[in-house]
Amino acid sequence: MLPPWTEIMQYIRKSPKRQTVEVLRAAAARGRPVVQPRCGVGGHGEMRTLLTTLEQRGRPDILTITIDSFTRLKQFRSAAQTLQRDPAGLNGYPLVTHGWRRGRELNELVDAPIEVRHGSPDPRELFAVALASGFTSFEGGGIDYNLPYSKDVPLARSLAAWAQVDRLCGVLAETGVIVDRELFGTLTAVLVPPSVSLAVCLLEARAASLAGVRCLSVAYPQGGEVHQDIAALRSIPVLARRYLPEHVEVFPVLHEFMGVFPRDPDVADALILYGGLTARLGGAAKVINKTNQEARGIPDAEANVAGIRTTALACTDLLDFVRVDEATVEEETYWLQREVAELVEPVLAAPDLSAAIVEAFTDGRLDIPFSASVHARSEVIPKRDSTGAIRYLGAGRLPFSRPTLRRNEQCLRVDRASLSGRLIDEIRSDINFFVQAETRSQAARLATRAAPTRSAVTGPGGAR
């Protein structure tokens, strides 16, 4: 049983802790992103230990409780059974099963505010328990927590469930409690074209702000080409001003590379540092760190501490000397914002936003690649160009203008006839982009050892 509404409100208002929204505001004002790890284990004692260890040794500004798959799918009985039998068999913390009292215990255990991260198409019970626990930061949305995670939940249903959460946030905002609602632009985490990520988040953000949400974090997944990633992050506040009501606060967030990660811990650490740097150059308010155990599965606390510290290091003034080619960023920005406009404006023009979103996905005018759900067509074919930037090889039924399509074609410069036989291999190697960087660096090291005089002349530049 949850405590009464007035008691929950009182608990949150009386909390001496800084709320997530305040941490984000301070980060945005400072111009340096704060760092947040992902973390969640089944047992309550283990979760306590994990949070304290990360806080004491990594000092992240925001902490996380990642929720297990059973709870995400509202299989609360399975979550309870597994918790009793084998808590280590859960891939996250079953908050609904543990209940709000234990939630509050976790909340009071650490200084950093806690965000609940999950992947649920219908999060209503989870949100209620999270709120009763005092957590005022909650990830997800009706599109982004449905299509990448569930096979057959109709979008109308997930959008309606999330609208209820967002309306509750609206009611809370009126009484002065601001819930940070983070949108998961990472989607399927595999070669997501930046304009797809931003378009989905903007539509969700618009729906959320109409429901009364005042604070939105828009998360964008690091693609790996720095100019494109910076353009995307810097576009978030611009697009928010264009498409969202003025009173809504929007914070850009970077998710460090979410695709296939290098196995070599040193190469993984380099990629993590690169992620933190990208976040800072792009003006993100927050960056979610990866760990050098990513290729192996769920990381231990040790690796997570290292990931937090490496990321935080990249956000200090250590790397302030780094400059990027601003003309390239500007060009990327122009085309990215144009693509986003072509995707979202027809949907925003409709009288019923939720119905328009459902219809656009049915028709393929909105689409995501590699969807797990049957409710997206996944006709979009992404491809990296020679710089590593993610382009549309096939735009499916997305309503792009001719110049947009031409620009993508020009960037890719592929001979489609000769590509068709190799298409799967090419896309696979695009997916394995950073694993291949790892392979190249290993090969280069071996070559140096074998022929030191020649490699000094050749250098690593020819690797591409």
Binding-site ranges for other proteins (CB under 8 A) = 151, 188, 190, 369-374, 378, 381, 420, 423-424, 427-428, 431
Collect all residues with Cβ–Cβ distance below 8 Å to 15 and sequence separation of at least 6: 107, 134
Nearer to other proteins, 175 or 420 (CB): 420
Nearer to other proteins, 206 or 383 (CB): 383
Nearer to other proteins, 36 or 150 (CB): 150
Nearer to other proteins, 151 or 445 (CB): 151
Active-site choice (139, 182, 294, 342): 139
Q: Confirm if 39 and 65 have CB atoms less than 8 A apart.
A: yes
Q: Confirm if 44 and 79 have CB atoms less than 8 A apart.
A: no
Q: How far is CA 432 from the centre of its chain?
A: 19
- In DSSP terms, which residues pair with 383 in a beta bridge? 391
Nearer to other proteins, 251 or 434 (CB): 434
Nearer to other proteins, 217 or 371 (CB): 371
Closest separation between CB of residue 456 and other proteins, Å? 39
Closest separation between CB of residue 193 and other proteins, Å? 15
38 is catalytic: no
Would you tell me how many other CB atoms lie within 10 Å of the CB of residue 413? Answer: 8
- In DSSP terms, which residues pair with 180 in a beta bridge? 137, 215
Closest separation between CB of residue 44 and other proteins, Å? 28
Closest separation between CB of residue 372 and other proteins, Å? 5
Nearer to other proteins, 55 or 68 (CB): 68
Active-site choice (72, 181, 365, 384): 72
Q: Confirm if 49 and 40 have CB atoms less than 8 A apart.
A: no
Instruction: Tell how strand 390-394 and strand 381-384 pair up.
Output: antiparallel
Distance CA 214, CA 196 (A): 23
Closest separation between CB of residue 423 and other proteins, Å? 6
Closest separation between CB of residue 411 and other proteins, Å? 20
55 is catalytic: no
Closest separation between CB of residue 424 and other proteins, Å? 5
Would you tell me how many other CB atoms lie within 10 Å of the CB of residue 163? Answer: 18
Helices 155-174, 353-363: axis angle to 10 degrees equals 150
Cα–Cα nearest to 329, from 229, 464, 410: 229
Catalytic site residues? Answer: 72, 139
